[in-house]
Amino acid sequence: MKTLKDLGDLSGKRVLVRADFNVPLDGTKITDDGRIRAALPTLTELHNEGAKVIVMAHLGRPKGQVVPELSLAPVAARLGELMGVNVVLAHDTYGEDAQAKVAAMKDGDVVLLENVRFNPEETSKDEAVRHEYAEKLAKLADVFVSDGFGVVHRAQGSDYDVATILPSAAGLLIQKEVKALSRATESPERPFTVVLGGSKVSDKLGVIKNLLDKADRLVIGGGMLFTFLKAQGYEIGKSLVEEDMIDTVKGYMETAKKNGVELVLPVDVVAADKFAADSPAVSVPADQIPADKMGLDIAEKSQKLFHDKIVDSKTVVWNGPMGVFEFPRFAAGTKAVAQGLVDATKAGAFTIVGGGDSASAVRNLGFKDDEFSHISTGGGASLEFLEGKELPGLKVLD
């Protein structure tokens, strides 16, 4: 994979950078700037080198329409604060305003183009449409740097197609992501523990299948755990379950046993009357969930079990919360897993928080990024990497 060094001296060059600034917003307030901070090493290096830095990114799902609430204006302001420079926001992606602002750039200047997903061509399934759009973006620059790991699992105009037109390389963030995830999947120090949560087994099918012959231990929490419990014949009450996944789960459990992979399931859960922040809750054995209740988190014994299994590891990959962490009453399981990774890191283990909800959870629960070996910026991308899939946005950089 080509890197920044392969592009040569970039002083005075117009460098088009695809970043991932898909940050959560509360109105115009950014509630988690982790993805913006993750882009700083690449953007700062280019700025210091005297390049004219033109940044592209998306925010939310405007579906090819201009949605004022999804403007990158708050991102431009925050990026400027973090970099200590004035970041100019273009009011379009490749139109008159973008062209004028790029033409006025001096060495070291930073311009952020407006949300690329305001353009329907960005995510078009028609390669010709995407390529024509990418050519318009490419005219703004001399070289392209791909640094938005969160989008490399999709062939999109501002990522994949631009890389086929301009001299291209991976930014520092993508290099860091690939190195970390490869270390975990290709040459993990053992014991290698994979912790999976989230609501659905179907979302993690590929990961489970790929890691059943690589991991030493598979720890299952989140809403997906109830499909595993149901597959064992346990009563799960009104808990979330994917009936059509039960036979698949049974097969995975058999494969785990055959391969000597330790499958760790909760021994108790926090059950509530309904899916609500203020719903009364009670801890019950995992195999005895009352018929009128639903499980919304793992309970105390399971929290300790999961924590201890994680600490007894040399490599840990975690993707997906253990419960409904957005509700404080059902956040303890996710917090226990996060603390397990922190303690494992302190003990010398290599730990990865696999992006998406997991990354948001650790920050919302008060943990710091440097308490883990690596926090991925790509939810779907990190999952597909763990599945062993070929990611278009990475392949195009080879």
382 annotated as a binding-site residue = no
Quote the CA–CA distance of 57 and 14 in Å, as a whole number: 17
What H or E segment, with its residue span, contains residue 144? Answer: strand 143-146
Q: How far is CA 156 from CA 75, 141, 151, 244, in A?
A: 21, 18, 8, 32
* 204 labeled part of a ligand binding site: yes
Active-site residue (options: 222, 356, 379, 393): 356
Residue of 18, 35, 78, 230 marked catalytic: 35
DSSP string, 214-227: T-SEEEE-STTHHH
User: Looking at the DSSP assignment, which residues form a beta bridge with residue 52?
Assistant: 14
Point out the catalytic residue in the list 64, 80, 108, 380.
380
233 is a catalytic site residue: no
Please state at what angle helix 379-387 crosses helix 172-186, rounded to 10 degrees.
Answer: 40
Yes or no: say if 15 and 140 are a contact pair by the CB < 8 Å rule: no
Is 260 a known ligand-binding residue?
Answer: no
Q: Is 154 annotated as a binding residue?
A: yes
Q: Is 33 annotated as a binding residue?
A: no
14 is in an annotated binding site: no
Active site residue 200: yes
Active site residue 37: no
Catalytic residue among 200, 301, 304, 314: 200
* Residue 12 marked ligand-binding: no
- 61 annotated among ligand-binding-site residues: yes
391 is in an annotated binding site: no
- Whether 40 has a binding-site annotation, put simply, is no
| Distance separating alpha carbons of residues 263 and 252, to the nearest angstrom | 10
Backbone angles phi, psi at 15, to 5 degrees: -110, 115
Answer yes or no: is 21 a known binding residue.
Answer: yes
Q: Tell me, what amino acid is at 308?
A: D
Distance of alpha carbon 86 from alpha carbon 63, whole angstroms:
29
238 counts as catalytic: no
Q: Is 295 annotated as a binding residue?
A: yes
Q: Return the closest-CA partner of residue 30 out of 57, 65, 64, 52.
A: 57
Annotated binding-site residue? 64: no
Binding residues: 20-22, 35, 58-61, 117, 154, 204, 295, 326, 355-358
List, as residue ranges, the binding site for (2R)-3-phosphoglycerate.
35, 117, 154
Catalytic (active-site) positions: 35, 200, 356, 380
Could you list the residues known to form a binding site for substrate, using ranges: 20-22, 35, 58-61, 117, 154
Binding residues for ATP: 204, 295, 326, 355-358
